[in-house]
Amino acid sequence: MHFIDLEAQYKHLKQKIDKRIQAVLDHGNYIMGPEVEELEQKLAEYVGVKHCISCANGTDALQLAMMVLDIKPGDAVFCPTFTFFATAEVVAYAGATPVFVDSDERTFNICPKDLEKRIEKVISEGKLVPKAIIAVDLFGLPANYPELEKLANKYNMKLIEDAAQGFGGEINGQRAGSFGDIATTSFFPAKPLGCYGDGGAIFTNNDEYAALFRSYRVHGKGKDKYDNVRIGINSRLDTIQAAILLEKLAEFPTELIARNKAAASYNQSLNGKYITPFVPEGYLSSWAQYTVISENREEEMARYKAEGVPTMIYYGTCMHQQTAFNHLSYTDIDLPVASRLAKQVFSLPMHGYL
Ligand X SMILES: *Cc1c(COP(=O)(O)O)cnc(C)c1O
Residues that bind ligand X (CB under 6 A): 57-59, 83-84, 86-87, 136, 162, 164-165, 186, 188, 198, 200
Considering the complex, state which of residue 17 and residue 64 has its C-beta at the smaller distance from ligand X: 64
- The rounded Cα 19 to chain-centroid distance in angstroms is 29
The amino acid at residue 62 is: L
The least distance separating ligand X from the CB of residue 123, rounded to whole angstroms, comes to: 27
The amino acid at residue 138 is: L
Considering the complex, state which of residue 198 and residue 247 has its C-beta at the smaller distance from ligand X: 198
- Whether the CB-CB separation of 52 and 89 falls below 8 Å is answered with no
The least distance separating ligand X from the CB of residue 314, rounded to whole angstroms, comes to: 9
For 353, which DSSP code?
T
DSSP 72-117: -TTEEEEEESSS-THHHHHHHHTT-EEEEEPBPTTT-SB-HHHHHH
The least distance separating ligand X from the CB of residue 292, rounded to whole angstroms, comes to: 18
Task: Indicate the SS3 state at residue 184.
Answer: strand
The least distance separating ligand X from the CB of residue 76, rounded to whole angstroms, comes to: 19
Considering the complex, state which of residue 184 and residue 339 has its C-beta at the smaller distance from ligand X: 184
Considering the complex, state which of residue 112 and residue 192 has its C-beta at the smaller distance from ligand X: 192
Strand order in the sheet with 182-186: 51-55, 200-204, 182-186, 158-162, 129-136, 75-80, 97-101
The least distance separating ligand X from the CB of residue 229, rounded to whole angstroms, comes to: 26
Considering the complex, state which of residue 84 and residue 108 has its C-beta at the smaller distance from ligand X: 84
